[in-house]
Structure 1
Amino acid sequence: MTHPYLDAPGGVAALAHRGFSRDGLENTLAAFQAAVDLGYRYVETDAHGTADGVAVALHDASLDRTTDRTGRVAHLPWSQVRQARVGGVEPVPTLEDLLGTWPDLRVNVDVKERSGVAPVAAAIERTRSHDRVCVASFSVTRRDATVARLSRPVATSAGTTEALAFFRAGRSGRVPVRAVRDVDVFQVPWRWRGRQVLTARHVDTAHRAGRLVHVWTVNDEADMTTLLDLGVDGLITDRADVLRDVLRARGTWR
């Protein structure tokens, strides 16, 4: 836990999932500003690369669901993607916009497709934001390929195969040596197919290995309390307002 990204104020990382928006304007500068206005020091975003190598903050592979345009981001140049409006209102931001607008904000970046690997790394390099970025991906290969392009270390989150090894090992309490080798934090769900899969033993196993546990995506106040009582190190939420109030009540909001 030596990387600066992991030094959470108050001991708990509160991550605003795709920023904070109650009106569908996820992954926009307006949503990230709303999280900052609430006092958040961490946000989570997703990233894709355009056809001409620009990293954009967008969850889906295409513009179809969230914007007034259509088409796969990887097949479109930035000159076209930049014309799209999320919810018909807000432009799709570049990752560099996000990293550059708030130079103290810590950003969890989920690299969604291979097309995003080089552009994400380039955005981190240009903004020199290594100390405040965590690179994540469901794909270990994508995450490692992104990190390999960087001139300095960033924090890293577990991919799917590493997370599965973590869950299997946690049942026995044995530290999953291979799963923790290239990982600083396990960012995992706590429920799967309607049942709770994360336990205090999992959290303890990660801590004994010197790794942190962040849980996504937790929007209910009671669930937040349950997970904090388990000892998790961070929560990723769509309800940044609710999580802030929960942490304030516990005296861990900074």
Structure 2
Amino acid sequence: MTLSPPAGAGPGRATARHPFLDHPAPLAFAHRGGAADGLENTLTAFRRAVDLGYRYLETDVHATADGVLVAFHDATLDRVTDARGAIADLPWSAVRAARVGGREPLPLLAELLAAFPLARFNVDVKAAPAVRPLVAAIGAADAWDRVCVSSFSQRRVEAVRALAGPRLATSLGTRGVAALRLLSWARLPGGGAGRTGAGRAVCVQVPERHAGVPVVDAAFLRAAHRRGLQVHVWTVNDRDRMMSLLDLGVDGIMTDHIETLRAVLTERGAWPGAG
């Protein structure tokens, strides 16, 4: 049985506006491949998620000093690898020697796209130098239908859109998210795409709360869905919060705890192939 949003949650889930979103919601995203095991953003992590049945993988990109696009979250290698230094200051020849958890190499985004040709990738572009290599990598793999680009930087989202055009899916930028939250509080009807930037985005990807202020609630979902935007929430690792958000009617959840989310969706008959 597939559960519908409860009464009061506003219109049903948004219709997919791009091939990236062509799977039935709610979508399950393996955040950094499933970061809970300590091998985040590695081929091993992503392969484990795919083997569990995940169709959506979330990752991040930085560019090395010589312009090589690496799938990695932090600006520096220090936290999760056995090496040190800022990726932007190091050549690929140095970065490729680093090992996540002391044993796993950093993959290139191009390697991930090639290794998992049926998976969809949500890519957070972490720094301006990564914008052009990212668009080039997507183009080289002809992966326009299976990549969505997001960023905490409005400027980076706009730069990607300018280079790639409408063939690439992007999430709503930070200014658009703030505008959408304000519109939801004002309970304005649909429209207002110019104020939110919804005309160029296919989804909005947000935390449940930010700086103590609720972001995702029934009013926010109504405002997003009326503008044709799916709502994906990150990073949700608690089973009860997953259940509450699914009951609310969110369109996707990103998690580090990929077994937990898979179990929750399977119980609800919403895991791909369940039932």
Contact 2:154 2:173 in 1 (8 A): yes
Deviation above 4 Å: which 4+ runs of structure 1?
A: none
1:96-107 to structure 2, matched below 5 A, reads 96-107=110-121
TM-score normalised by L of structure 1: 0.95
1:61 counterpart = 2:79: no
1:192 counterpart = 2:207: no
Distance 1:122 1:213 in 2: 27
Q: How far is the alpha carbon of 1:144 from its aligned partner?
A: 2.1
Could you tell me which of 110, 120, 128 is aligned with 2:124? 110
Q: Residue 134 of structure 2: SS of its match in structure 1?
A: helix
Q: CA RMSD in A?
A: 1.4
Could you tell me which of 232, 242, 246 is aligned with 2:250? 232
* 1:183 corresponds to: 201
* 1:162 corresponds to: 176
* 1:3 corresponds to: 18
Q: How far is the alpha carbon of 1:65 from its aligned partner?
A: 0.8
Distance 2:152 2:210 in 1: 16
Q: How far is the alpha carbon of 1:21 from its aligned partner?
A: 4.3
TM-score normalised by L of structure 2: 0.88
Q: How far is the alpha carbon of 1:196 from its aligned partner?
A: 3.5
Deviations 1:110-151 (A, max 9, x none): 000001111111111111111000010111211221233237
Q: How far is the alpha carbon of 1:195 from its aligned partner?
A: 5.4
Could you tell me which of 200, 211, 217 is aligned with 2:229? 211
Q: Residue 167 of structure 2: SS of its match in structure 1?
A: coil
**38-47 or 22-31, which deviates more:** 22-31
Distance 1:21 1:141 in 2: 27
**215-224 or 22-31, which deviates more:** 22-31
Please tell me the residue identity of whatever aligns with 2:219: R
Q: How far is the alpha carbon of 1:75 from its aligned partner?
A: 1.2
Please tell me the residue identity of whatever aligns with 2:164: L
Distance 2:115 2:32 in 1: 15
* 2:5 corresponds to: none
Distance 1:213 1:172 in 2: 19
Deviations 1:28-52 (A, max 9, x none): 0011011001100001001001111
In structure 2, list runs of 5 or more residues that go unmatched: 1-15
Identity %: 52
1:238-249 to structure 2, matched below 5 A, reads 238-249=256-267
* Higher RCO (Cα < 8 Å, 6 or more apart): 2
Number of residue equivalences? 253
* 2:37 corresponds to: 23
In structure 1, list runs of 5 or more residues that go unmatched: none
Q: Residue 213 of structure 1: SS of its match in structure 2?
A: strand
